[in-house]
Amino acid sequence: MTYGTVHSVESCGTVDGPGIRFIVFTQGCPLRCQYCHNADTWEFGCGRKVSSEEIIKEANSYRSFFDATGGGVTFSGGEPLAQPEFLEASLREAKRNGLHTVIDTAGSVVPKNLDQILDYTDLVLLDIKHIDDATCRILTGRSNVNTLAFAKLLAERNIPVWIRHVLVPGVTMTETFLRQTGEFIRTLGNVERVEVLPYHQLGVYKWEALGLEYALKDVLPPTAEETFAAQELLNSYLS
């Protein structure tokens, strides 16, 4: 039996993949994104310990909602790829139960069993933090090399992908960076959707509770018009 640690679950999620979904937020993440709204999921080794069989049994109790809406189970975080054995076992169990599977990841972790994990994955929500490596290191504490290589691997295996990109004024919200992101997306061929997520400060209270300094406290969210323009620009690289 394979165990992992889970921060929390959401029984009827509607934004992390198609249909109504059971979202598993795994505990632990190697990134330190300056805009992270789940900083309480960073630390490894804490959270609820659960087996892959138990978590899928819990997910399967919502089967009627999945069947009615084309939903399933999504593994998010934290970073689900940072618990690769648990993730693989859970995905395998999910497919054994006929569930649609999604991984919501930044692709910054490259586990040894990545190919096996992808064997049981129907869709990947890939968060491209920043297309510029130097800026990505400042924004997240890590290079984007693994993320971009992961995106290319998904393209080679023709696994459907939804790209997610957080729009941060002064950081990611420049035409140059957005066009570079779009050009990269255009090379892949397996991207079904691009989701521009406007930066917000809803998770600041978690940083404060953890005694952490929030680096983007003076950055205001983008306007609806700016978000729409960025979405339209990136969408143009899908056609």
- The CATH number of the domain where 80 resides is what? 3.20.20.70
Q: Which pair of structure tokens corresponds to residue 28?
A: 């632990």
What domain range includes position 76?
Answer: 3-235
Read out DSSP for 77-141? SS-GGGSHHHHHHHHHHHHHTT-EEEEEE------TTHHHHHHT-SEEEEE---SSHHHHHHHHS
What's the mean pLDDT in 82-92?
Answer: 98
Instruction: Give pLDDT tens digits for 111-137.
Output: 999 999 999 999 999 999 999 999 999
Q: Is the pLDDT of residue 239 over 80?
A: no
Percentage of the chain with pLDDT > 70?
Answer: 100
Task: State if pTM tops 0.85.
Answer: yes
Instruction: Give pLDDT tens digits for 177-206.
Output: 999 999 999 999 999 999 999 999 888 888
The total of structural domains in the chain comes to 1
Spatial separation of the C-alpha atoms in residues 132 and 205, rounded to whole Å? 29
